[in-house]
Amino acid sequence: MKGDFSRLRFDPARQYEAVLLQQGRVALDADSNEASAIQLHRDRRTAADLIGPSGAPQGDAGFAITVEAAGKLGVGAGTLYVDGVRCMNPGKFLHDAQPFLPAGAPVFVAADGSRSASPPDGRYIAFVDVWHRHVTAIEDDELVEESLGVDTTTRLQVVEQVGFLRAGDAGDGAVTCDAAVPGWTSFIQRPNGTIAARGKPADTEANPCAFPETAGYQRLENHLYRVEIHKPGTAGGGATFKWSRDNAAFATRWLESNGDTLTLAETGRDAVSGLSPGQWIELTDDDAELAGRPGTLVRIVSLTGNRVRLDAPTADGPIAISSFGRNPKVRAWDSPGAVAITVPGTNDGFLPLESGLEVAFLAGGAYRSGDWWVIPARSGSGIDWPESGGAPAQQSPQGIEHAYARLAVLDCTGGAWTFVGDCRPLFPPLTRMRQLALLGGDGQEALPDPTQPMRLCPLADLLRVGVFRGTMPVQNARVRFTVLSGSGGLNVIPPASGFSSVIALTDDKGEATVAWALDAATATQQVRAELIDSTDERVGLAVTFGASLSTAARVSYDPAATPSLAGIVTVQRAIEELANRVGGGCVEVTLSPGTDWVKTLSELPKGEDVTICFRQGRFETREPVILTGLGHVVIHGGGAASQVLCSEGESVLEFIDCASLSMRELTVAATADLLDHKPRRRGAITAIGVDTVTLEDLTVTCGTARGNERTCVTVSGTQRDGKPVPVSFVRIVDCAFTCGFGQDGVLVTDAIDSVIEGNRLRVSHLPERFTLEELAADPRRHGMLARHLARDFTPAETRTPVPGNAVLVGPYAVSMASMVEAPEWRKLIAAEPPAAADTASTDAVQAYMRRLTDKALADTSATSAFRAPADRVRKVMGRQTGIQLSPELLGDLIRGGEMTVAEAPKPAATDGKGLITIPAGQWRVAFESEIDQETWIRIAREFAQEITAETEERTWDAIADLTRRFVADPDLRAKFPAVAAWFERLRKGLGVVGGQAIVVAGGQGRTTRIARNDIAAFLEGVHVALAREGDGPGDHRDFASVAVIANRMALRLPVEYLWGGHGIYVGNAAQVRVNENEIDFAPGNDRRFHEGIRIWGWLGRFLHANANAITLARIGIRVVSEGKPQDETVQWLAADNLAVGAGVCVEAPGWMRLRDNVP
């Protein structure tokens, strides 16, 4: 601080708390300044003790580093505390335009401390350097009191300078916000240079009575000496210093320069307090002081008024004002220029300054430019300097004190920045430091009723949390309880299903409670409780409650004492095994490999309950085994070791009109690959008209078919007496399904209640016998492949207009001043389309038009549009000339003389694939295609007659018929390399893909739950919808409840698809829960799925689509409602969904609440 101070005496080691004035005493500047320093020190240390080395307040966190355009880095507005200093950034700025640095200043710091304005590649620590700048009236005009015309006081200003330290290579995981980084430690370390000061000691006199005239401080005036480092370095290694006897307090503005003459605002009141010849001055500016650079030291030769002439050869830098930046200034020093820092071997290592004042530097010490010390010198009392052991103590610099804080970690590669992490610790206000604690209700169990799988199971105790601040409870705090897993409900009031999220207020004891009921299917379920503010944002950490179903399947059983039950480890399995042994029905059958097991099953008595056990081994049949009219059927086996195989049929086991079916621990495979068409989709396991179906722990495989005609499992209702009879209940859990190429996994139709959970669904590779040609024989697939070649037909004139008087002949437009209208010419061309040779050149086109004209004139009975003008021409010419017209001349007159033939305008999009425009007779047809324009022009010429028709629509149909021929005929494809290449690309891209993994459909249904299934390589993951009775507003059928929860799907598109549908489809349901599903669509060029999740139709008052993660769909979730639910209480919510790569995450009606969906 270079102010006009008497002394700076604050020392925190003295632990002074306040400065107290006494009556009748003189008040000095040193007392007031010490009081300010005490207060500043206390405030700073208090803030540092509470906040830590650095921290930013929540809601106003400043100095956030952001990556901006063009390789720039931004520094955000707000507040930051660094070592207790409050730093305020009023507005965002860029790294190269900082308020406390000159524009373009080098802010990128290398490991050796050097700086540059452009960053080399590497990992960087963004930091802020905070220090106090002393501001006088020279730097700020407003410090001058206008009424007096002089300055009175000075100021301390907080300076924040943001820099970027290269701490490692890009991607270096060792460089983080909290890691001990050697480069950072050395960068912020303060130089170790110190000084000591003393008055010159007295010489040893022989006469002890002699007075030592040259001892101690010898001036009669009191001074505050200032020693400041000029050039950085080490003692004896090039470092220099300068000194002033009056704290370098005199400074003035530098107005202009002319060679070696400067014009200043003033030169001082006199030679003592101002400037004088022979004195040394420093030329500097604000930019240099902010950057920590020393100015130019130069000696004064003479003064004339406010003009100062310099001894230019003594200058150690530039002296022209044009070499300086903002606010040029001159400061007076009393040292003879820059003095080298050395440690002499004599005089105890002290260097003399003047009048007995001596200073000693630390041998080998490092010194930084701008570091300073002040030394009070008093006449009579000498030098005021602390001692240690009776000798002057070495003291660290009194300034400038720098504090540093890490702001962020970034990587720079090729000038492009990547944000790695934010290093700013954030802290809340004291009034918001509330905490949430779990008080009770965790770890409970509920007893489910297996006969009522959709009934919720309430827990005995409430979930209880407490909110407190310190030791005091907080009343009316808002706590949000949310069901994390399972389909249970909160605060259930039967028959309603409760809520998936509830906000409760704390009571006078600070407690908030909620009732929780579990669903009857999910073994372990969770609820999260979180403290939220008035904007529903979470405050602090959340707590999680867990609960589970109390079921025999989750209770361990030790079979050690019962060898016959060896391998069974749950009570549920043990009970089932014992129950099966005493008879699950009236008939018990144990089947062994090698026996006529098919005959045994076919002879089972109708209407009887049956228990069938397949021993370990292979059970093979060529035709499906069909069991009809049995009672309750229980089938079990030895898991993977019990294999039931059908080598030729579509099904392996079919159950028709049985009372119930329960199958577990069996392997079933319909291995045949079928080329013939099947009228109904049968499964390897098929149950039709079976009232209750339970499939558990099965491994099921179905083969491939030409079309989408097979499933692993088919369950459906039946017809009795002309009326539909639904299935009461279907439960398919923990099974592994492998579908043939293009086939479906599980198909359930007309089931009142269904649960499909915990299954694994995969697709097998395409058998070698199924070539793309073989697959293309399927009518549906054949049509879709043809659409690759031509689709979305439109009149070409809507894209590339042709003049109205022109007609099209192949790729050419023919313009004529004809007596016959253009539409009539087009009809004539359609009736007699050109061959390929007729459109090979402009001459060929003209010859074709002449031949066409001659034919039209010769056939007057069929061309009335030509007959009338021909008769008029003959009559007029005969009357005027008396000459009989030749057919050639008559044709020229009818055509209007010369014809202009030019290539027709081409479409805008002809870049390979995309929009195609081709001539077809008198029409120009535009359509989309995967084949390029040039190839289609060749095709149009080759098949000109086949694709020419009387109307545009029939022309479109003709082109579509031609594309179907291309799909079916390899010889036809071979004529056009681009078409053949397209087909080969499809062949190579066949991949592995199935149809629909899980389908629940039909005409009847009440509840369905599809959860925790692992699905891979299907076109569609889950499809749940009931068929409509008609097209009227009340003709819909709907489910009472649909839950699609926690399924994982990796889906892909078959080659015939140009675009896809959706991963999950739910249609017509009163209550819908689609939560926590992961849907990943495999990328395939520009082919993408339309929607990750589609919820459509007549929907009731409750719809939740939450916490779903979707990849590579055009729209993440689309909700399309036939109308708003009439019930006033509507709970429609889509929250916390992620749709990577989608244009929109959720597209829904306006009454649906959307929250925290990305994007």
Could you report the per-residue pLDDT of 338-356, keeping only the tens digit for each?
999 999 999 999 999 999 9
Least confident range from 447-451, 680-684, 691-695: namely 680-684
- For 56, the token pair is 């930013």
Rounded mean pLDDT, 865-879: 72
User: What confidence tens digit (pLDDT) does each residue in 1050-1076 have?
Assistant: 998 888 887 777 899 999 999 999 999
- For 554, the token pair is 């989750």
Quickly state the pLDDT bin for 103 (edges 50, 70, 90): confident
Residue 446 predicted with pLDDT over 80: yes
Residues forming beta bridges with residue 1008, ordered by sequence position: 754, 1042
* Residue 881 CB partners (closer than 8 Å, separation 6+): none
User: What confidence tens digit (pLDDT) does each residue in 264-295 have?
Assistant: 999 988 777 789 999 999 999 999 999 999 99
Residue 814 predicted with pLDDT over 90: no
Residue 912 predicted with pLDDT over 50: no
Instruction: Report pLDDT for 495.
Output: 67
Q: How many CB atoms lie within 10 A of CB 952?
A: 19
Peptide bond into 1159 cis (omega under 30): yes
To the nearest 10 degrees (0 to 180), the angle between helices 822-831 and 842-858 is: 90
523 three-state secondary structure: coil
Quickly state the pLDDT bin for 860 (edges 50, 70, 90): low
Q: How far apart are the first and last CA of the chain?
A: 53
> 517, 533, 346, 353: which is closest to 445 by C-alpha?
517
| Distance, CA of 48 to CA of 81 (rounded, Å) | 8
Q: Which residue has the higher pLDDT, 803 or 411?
A: 411
User: What confidence tens digit (pLDDT) does each residue in 985-1022 have?
Assistant: 888 877 788 899 999 999 899 999 999 999 999 999 99
User: What confidence tens digit (pLDDT) does each residue in 192-213 have?
Assistant: 999 999 998 876 554 555 445 5
675 three-state secondary structure: coil
| Distance, CA of 1036 to CA of 1121 (rounded, Å) | 12
Residue 205 DSSP one-character state: P
Quickly state the pLDDT bin for 1085 (edges 50, 70, 90): very low
Q: How many CB atoms lie within 10 A of CB 756?
A: 30
User: What confidence tens digit (pLDDT) does each residue in 484-533 have?
Assistant: 999 999 998 876 778 999 999 999 999 999 999 999 989 899 999 999 98
Instruction: Report pLDDT for 403.
Output: 97
Peptide bond into 495 cis (omega under 30): yes
Q: Which residue has the higher pLDDT, 1128 or 719?
A: 719
| Distance, CA of 907 to CA of 453 (rounded, Å) | 61
Residue 751 predicted with pLDDT over 70: yes
Instruction: Report pLDDT for 882.
Output: 56
Residues forming beta bridges with residue 902, ordered by sequence position: 813
Domains of the chain by start residue, with CATH: 12-51 (no CATH), 54-190+402-427 (no CATH), 196-392 (no CATH), 431-550 (2.60.40.10), 793-953 (no CATH)
Instruction: Report pLDDT for 1128.
Output: 62
Instruction: Report pLDDT for 794.
Output: 80
Instruction: Report pLDDT for 799.
Output: 43
Least confident range from 53-62, 122-131, 146-155, 690-699: namely 146-155
889 three-state secondary structure: helix
Rounded mean pLDDT, 928-951: 85
User: What confidence tens digit (pLDDT) does each residue in 366-380 have?
Assistant: 999 999 999 999 988
Peptide bond into 400 cis (omega under 30): yes
Query: Which residue in the block uniquely carries the two structure tokens 């008055």?
Result: 199
| Distance, CA of 204 to CA of 216 (rounded, Å) | 14
Least confident range from 129-143, 455-469, 502-516, 903-917: namely 903-917
Query: Which residue in the block uniquely carries the two structure tokens 């009770």?
Result: 440
Quickly state the pLDDT bin for 308 (edges 50, 70, 90): very high
| Distance, CA of 562 to CA of 886 (rounded, Å) | 116
Rounded mean pLDDT, 962-977: 91
Rounded mean pLDDT, 426-449: 89
Instruction: Report pLDDT for 1129.
Output: 72
Rounded mean pLDDT, 723-729: 93
Instruction: Report pLDDT for 476.
Output: 94
Residue 1082 predicted with pLDDT over 80: no
> 1121, 1109, 1033, 998: which is closest to 1069 by C-alpha?
1121
User: What confidence tens digit (pLDDT) does each residue in 417-431 have?
Assistant: 999 999 999 998 887
Residue 806 has φ and ψ, to the nearest 5°, of -100, 155
On average, the pLDDT of the chain sits at 88
Instruction: Report pLDDT for 38.
Output: 93
Instruction: Report pLDDT for 189.
Output: 93
Highest mean pLDDT among 363-377, 430-444, 788-802, 972-986: 363-377
Instruction: Report pLDDT for 679.
Output: 59
Rounded mean pLDDT, 936-955: 84
Residue 730 predicted with pLDDT over 80: yes
The pTM (predicted TM-score) of the whole model is 0.50
Instruction: Report pLDDT for 227.
Output: 97
